[in-house]
Structure 1
Amino acid sequence: MSDADARPTQEQLERYAEQFNQSQTLRLLGLRLSFPPGGEKVVITLPEVRAEHRGGLGTHAINGGIISAMFDYAIGCTPALVDPTRRCATMQLSVSFERPVRGTTVRAEATIDSAGTSTLFASARMYDDKGQVCARCQGVVKMSQMKWASGESPAVN
């Protein structure tokens, strides 16, 4: 983005999500990235909890590795809210598990806490299908000056 105060349009964010949702890892895990209108948050949804997602605290709770992966994607995609053309990488995640995550669908919602020119701080919450917060996450993301090349996708396989 050329203007420091400019934010990406909803169309740009939707295009980013469409490309990112093609990544092999997201497809393997059954996750979906979206940006609700308003450009304030990133949502990673697990729309269909499968047997292979379970295993935390027994067979019905979602495994902590799946929860952490969802947080990694949610926090790691928050720089797109600033500039979807910049490459980025998660530097640090801190996950707090508050209660077992159960249900047939879950979502992680991430927002930006603060952002500098190359480092972004974000936080996220994990919600079960009843809307209850089950886990929280704080993260730090490095924003590279490198841009995605024209036609290149943020969904690196």
Structure 2
Amino acid sequence: MSDSSSGPPSRPTQAALERYAELFNQSLTMRHFGASVSFPEGRKVVVSLPELRPEHRGGVGSAAAVNGGILAALFDLAIGTCGALVDPSRRCATVQLSMSFERPVTGDHIRVEAEIDSQGLTLLFATARVYDAEGRMCGRCQGVVRLSNLPWSSGESPAIN
């Protein structure tokens, strides 16, 4: 896939990213899931799941490990939200994810961190890592995000309510 642009891209302000996170975190989906997104220093996406609930568990047939479907959703959320690091006023969508795991994700909370590896005019490539409650990296995900030219409509949230 070739998708290059000339010159370094400009980055959104921290205030714009914080507003995006505020709207995104208020969505029904995020509240139901129990997760939140943030943009530390405007350089990466952090998805936090501060309280693992019974419905998050069941990975590797164990009540202690996080279910793989939950981890896939968190990876999708982190990779897809990297689009906001480019321009929080534009829509974006995850088009590809590739996950691998090194160990079960256990503990009472987890976090996923994602960063952009490269970007062009319409695509960005990102890598995310999931960390358990002890801060051990348990898995990684590489993904591709399509950057749309369509802006959010007035009054519309960057997450479907």
Return the offset for 1:151. 2.6
For normalisation by structure 2, the TM-score amounts to 0.92
1:116 aligns with 2:152: no
- Residues 29 and 160, structure 2, Cα contact 8 Å, conserved in 1: no
1:155 to 135, 154, 159: 159
Identity %: 62
Residue by residue over 1:80-102, the C-alpha shift from the partner in whole angstroms, topping out at 9 and shown as x without a partner, is 11110110000011110110000
The structure with the largest helix share of the pair is 2
1:137 aligns with 2:113: no
2:82 to 74, 78, 82: 78
State the distance in 2 between where 1:20 and 1:59 align.
29
1:100 to 101, 104, 111: 104
For normalisation by structure 1, the TM-score amounts to 0.94
> Aligned pair count?
153
Structure 2 unpaired stretches of 5+:
1-7
Return the offset for 1:149. 2.1
User: AA paired with 1:19?
Assistant: L
Which residue in 2 is equivalent to 1:49?
52
The structure with the largest strand share of the pair is 1
User: AA paired with 1:26?
Assistant: M
Which residue in 2 is equivalent to 1:40?
43
Structure 1 unpaired stretches of 5+:
none
